[in-house]
């Protein structure tokens, strides 16, 4: 289906995760869109950063049959220290290795799906949403696929389901505007206020992200969007988890006229280690210790003071 902007409501999807408790209010079904405009060093969804389909290796299922090596026409599969590695430059995501694996240890993620198809899957969970839950579209960056996101949100809202979209804000201003007109809630990431540090951590300036946020807030303040706004700040040790950063974000938010319903400080965890292993990649933050209770209290106090 093509929307009024001539765009197809289709997006590459990593997964549809049920019973999520961390992506907005209540129990939610989270749709992870593939493809991101940032490359955060600490990213917890590395499989969602590239927009292309990718093969993942589930080590706990692998019986070492080597059926995958034998069928790969591009010689993209190798083994390093007992782990299966897929050379992303050689792999064209043909899926032959996935079909050949007798123990379903390989998985191809990122196939394009229509909003109608994904909505049908999400609405199967409708009975779980009565306690205030609903749909959350996350990623990757949903704002890179506005036609898909708007259509998916519309279909779920028409069915009486609450809808949220989690964005890093690095997309076109019009995309944010369209999504805010459609959704009930925007979860907006503000990661780092210092632009040089933001570039270092994410590969991009924060200028557009802050500009899009100001436009979103103005849209909300003027009553041109129904979407409530929650802010999310990842507290990453050695990166964003500084009093200076939390204070700067708090001061920025205090200048905003639109109501900000909630500001979540999201403490770093290293649960994404397994995902990096499945992608055959090393992760700089794999052995980063978690923030201590004292550090979290100090940062929370800085947020309250700001
Ligand atoms: S914005 Fe999110 S999905 Fe994109 S790279 Fe950063 S942490 Fe990963
Ligand atoms: S998807 Fe195709 S090209 Fe990629 S590793 Fe598997 S068999 Fe090889």
Give phi and psi for 176, each to the nearest 5: -60, -45
Using most ligand atoms within 8 A of CB, pick from 74, 84, 95 the residue to mutate for ligand 2.
Answer: 74
Which ligand sits nearest to residue 106's alpha carbon? Answer: 2
- 269, 267, 299: which is closest to 285 by C-alpha? 269
Using CA atoms, how far residue 285 sits from 42, 246, 276, 281, in Å, is 6, 20, 10, 12
* Residue 106 near residue 67, CB atoms below 8 Å: no
How far, rounded to the nearest angstrom, does the alpha carbon of residue 200 sit from its chain's CA centroid?
19
- Residues with CB under 6 Å of ligand 2 are 55, 71-72, 74, 76-77, 86, 91-97
CA 119 to ligand 1 center in whole angstroms = 23
What is the set of domains in the chain, with CATH numbers? 10-50+112-270+282-305 (3.20.20.70), 54-109 (3.30.70.20)
Give phi and psi for 91, each to the nearest 5: -65, 130
Give phi and psi for 303, each to the nearest 5: -65, -40
Alpha helices in the chain, H assignment, sequence order: 67-71, 96-100, 115-123, 146-158, 173-182, 195-202, 207-221, 243-254, 273-279, 293-305
Q: Name the DSSP class of 258.
A: S
Query: Which atom of ligand 1 has the smallest separation from the CA of 48?
Result: 3
CA-proximal residue: ligand 1, atom 6 (nearest) = 40
Which ligand sits nearest to residue 52's alpha carbon? Answer: 2
CA-proximal residue: ligand 2, atom 7 (nearest) = 72
From first to last of its 306 residues, what are the pLDDT tens digits of the chain? 666 667 899 999 999 999 999 999 999 999 999 999 999 999 999 999 999 999 999 988 999 888 999 999 999 999 888 788 999 999 999 999 999 999 999 999 999 999 999 999 999 988 888 778 999 999 999 999 999 999 999 999 999 999 999 999 999 999 999 999 999 999 999 999 999 999 999 999 999 999 999 999 999 999 999 899 999 999 999 999 999 999 999 999 999 999 999 999 999 999 899 899 888 888 999 999 999 999 999 999 999 999
């Amino acid at each position: 289906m093509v929307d009024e902007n001539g765009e197809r409501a289709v997006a590459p999807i990593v997964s549809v995760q049920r019973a999520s408790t961390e992506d907005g209010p209540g129990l939610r079904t989270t749709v992870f869109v593939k493809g991101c405009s940032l490359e955060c060093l600490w990213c917890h969804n590395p499989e969602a950063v590239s927009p292309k389909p990718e093969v993942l290796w589930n080590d706990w299922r692998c019986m070492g049959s080597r059926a995958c090596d034998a069928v790969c026409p591009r010689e993209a599969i190798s083994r390093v220290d007992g782990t299966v590695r897929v050379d992303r430059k050689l792999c064209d995501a043909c899926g032959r290795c996935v079909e050949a694996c007798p123990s379903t240890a390989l998985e191809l993620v990122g196939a394009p799906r229509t909003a109608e198809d994904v909505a049908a899957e999400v609405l199967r969970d409708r009975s779980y949403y009565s306690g205030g839950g609903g749909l959350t579209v996350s990623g990757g960056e949903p704002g890179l696929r506005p036609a898909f996101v708007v259509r998916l949100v519309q279909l779920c809202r028409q069915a009486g389901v609450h809808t949220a979209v989690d964005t890093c804000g690095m997309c076109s201003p019009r995309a944010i505007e369209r999504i805010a007109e459609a959704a009930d809630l925007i979860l907006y990431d503000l990661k780092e206020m210092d632009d040089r540090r933001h570039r270092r951590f994410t590969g991009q300036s924060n200028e557009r992200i802050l500009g899009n946020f100001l436009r979103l807030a103005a849209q909300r303040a003027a009553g041109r969007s129904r979407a409530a706004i929650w802010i999310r700040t990842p507290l990453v040790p050695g990166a964003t988890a500084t009093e200076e950063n939390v204070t700067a974000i708090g001061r920025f938010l205090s200048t905003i006229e639109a109501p900000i319903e909630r500001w979540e400080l999201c403490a770093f965890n290293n649960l994404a280690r397994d995902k990096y292993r499945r992608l055959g990649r090393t992760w700089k933050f794999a052995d980063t210790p978690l923030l201590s209770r004292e550090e979290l209290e100090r940062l929370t106090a800085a947020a309250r003071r700001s």
